[in-house]
């Protein structure tokens, strides 16, 4: 954990050490100034062992619960960030057309027309922005899948179509089965 609520852990540590120092200094002041009050406070601990143990265990348990909450929060935050980076890779922005019907999202036609795609590509090339590495139009369709060699099928799969000429800014398209870089331009018409 590097920060908590936007504050660096170093600053939090220094603040807590300062608070501990002030607390110990005030107890030391009471010891030096009024020993009777200090002894009166200490003598109740051995007399009421059950309450003392209960208070100490309660403080330990509350500290454990708060620490576990922070740890769980960090774990969930890391997991969400990791999943996002895994799914999107180096993609910073995805532009998608909203369907024009009231059909469910998986049945809408959200395909961007070719002329809009060309206009967007021309605008990005004209802007010549060094922060834009590439532009890659993609087509996603839900289709049934059949492997004629094994005879296995899947009723619904996502078919992804990419423009092989637009892959210059995306050098890291990796095979999920082998972990090697894929060259989409080398695929034949009947390969997937």
Rounded to whole angstroms, what are the CA distances from 136 to 120, 158, 164, 180?
Answer: 11, 18, 9, 20
Higher pLDDT among residues 31 and 181, named by residue: 31
For the chain, the straight-line distance linking the first and the last C-alpha, in angstroms and rounded, comes to 43
What backbone phi and psi angles, to 5 degrees, belong to 59? -65, -40
Separation CA 65–CA 190 (nearest Å): 58
Tokens describing residue 144: 């049934």
CA–centroid distance for 190 within its chain: 37
Tokens describing residue 54: 């209960």
Mean pLDDT taken over the chain: 82
pLDDT digits (tens, 9 = 90+) for 155-169: 988 888 877 777 777
pLDDT digits (tens, 9 = 90+) for 70-85: 889 888 988 988 888 7
pLDDT digits (tens, 9 = 90+) for 1-15: 677 777 888 998 999
């Amino acid at each position: 954990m590097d920060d908590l609520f936007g504050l660096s852990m170093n600053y939090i540590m220094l603040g807590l050490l300062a608070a501990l120092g002030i607390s110990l200094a005030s107890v030391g002041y009471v010891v030096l100034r009024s020993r009777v009050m200090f002894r009166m406070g200490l003598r109740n601990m051995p007399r009421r062992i059950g309450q003392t143990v209960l208070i100490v265990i309660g403080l330990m348990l509350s500290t454990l619960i708060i620490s576990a909450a922070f740890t769980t929060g960090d774990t969930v935050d890391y997991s969400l960030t990791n999943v996002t980076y895994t799914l999107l890779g180096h993609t910073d922005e995805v532009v998608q057309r909203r369907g024009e019907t009231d059909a469910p999202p998986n049945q809408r036609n959200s395909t961007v027309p070719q002329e809009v795609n060309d206009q967007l590509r021309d605008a990005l090339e004209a802007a010549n922005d060094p922060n834009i590495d590439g532009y890659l139009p993609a087509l996603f369709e839900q289709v049934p899948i059949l492997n004629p060699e094994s005879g296995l099928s899947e009723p619904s799969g996502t078919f992804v179509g990419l423009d092989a000429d637009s892959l210059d800014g995306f050098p890291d398209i990796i095979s999920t089965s082998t972990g090697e870089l894929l060259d989409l331009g080398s695929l034949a018409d009947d390969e997937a």
